Amino acid sequence: MEIILLKDFESLGTRGQIVNVADGYGRNYLLPKKLAVAATPENRKWVKQLRTRFLKEEAKEKADAEELAKILQGASVGFTRKSGEQGTLFGSVTSLDIAEALAAQGFKIDRRKIHLDAPLKVLGEYDVAVKLHHDVTSTVKVKIAAEGEPAAAAPAPDEAKPGEPSAS
């Protein structure tokens, strides 16, 4: 089935592009959600007229994303979580956690734009990619510290190690 995309899709194409998709995908998902229109001769003429509007919108979105990327480049978020002796977290830090922390700092970023290969499950500092536009990517520093400890504190050599009985 030939359709004309009204939204950008990473896997399919960009707005205004004519693509072939499976009949069921087109009829049951793309068309009812108004993400695409059927590629009829009338719709092809209509999309040619809209192409300039799409290009202007694309340029504005890219400029806004580049501006946000410059601001976001210096941003960092910190988390304190319970962890085991080896620095492994009891739980994890996910893209939703990062999105909420960024929202608290005034950045409105959808969690789906934050790219983590897997949830963060170890204490440390990470650079996390944020894809703001299909051509613009930024990074955010994520610091995960153990709960109840200062972030950079290391135990002194004469202190008892975790798991050893104390002399009380």
Q: Tokens 């209509």 sit at which residue?
A: 46
Task: Tell me the pTM.
Answer: 0.63
Closest CA to 73 of 135, 126, 136, 141: 141
- Of the listed ranges 97-101, 118-122, 146-150, the least confidently predicted one is 146-150
5 CB burial (10 A radius; 0-12, 13-18, 19+): buried
User: Domain range spanning residue 42?
Assistant: 2-65
Query: Mean of the per-residue pLDDT values for the chain?
Result: 82
What mean pLDDT comes out for the span 130-159?
70
Region of 3 please: left (phi>0), alpha (psi -120 to 50) or beta: beta
pLDDT band at residue 25 under the 50/70/90 scheme: very high
Q: Tokens 């946000």 sit at which residue?
A: 68
Residue 9 has pLDDT above 90, yes or no: no
Considering 13, 34, 65, which residue would you say is the last residue of a domain? 65
Distance between CA atoms of residues 93 and 80, nearest Å:
10
Which residue has better confidence, 57 or 97?
Answer: 97
- Of the listed ranges 52-66, 90-104, 147-161, the least confidently predicted one is 147-161
Residue 35, domain member (yes or no): yes
* Same domain membership, residue 56 and residue 8: yes
* Same domain membership, residue 94 and residue 47: no
Residue 135, domain member (yes or no): yes
* Same domain membership, residue 78 and residue 135: yes
Residue 165, domain member (yes or no): no
Which H/E stretch holds residue 124? Answer: strand 124-133
Report the Cα 23 to chain-centroid distance in Å.
30
Distance between CA atoms of residues 61 and 40, nearest Å:
28
User: For 29-87, how does the pLDDT look when each residue is reduced to its tens digit (9 = 90+)?
Assistant: 999 999 999 999 998 888 888 877 888 888 898 898 888 888 888 888 999 888 888 88
* Same domain membership, residue 123 and residue 61: no
What mean pLDDT comes out for the span 150-166?
40
Q: Which residues contact 6 (CB under 8 A, 6 or more apart)?
A: 15, 34, 35, 36, 37
Q: Give the Å distances, CA to CA, from 40 to 8, 47, 139.
A: 20, 10, 42
Distance between CA atoms of residues 153 and 71, nearest Å:
30
Per-residue pLDDT at 167? 40
Q: Assign residue 19 the CATH number of its domain.
A: 3.40.5.10
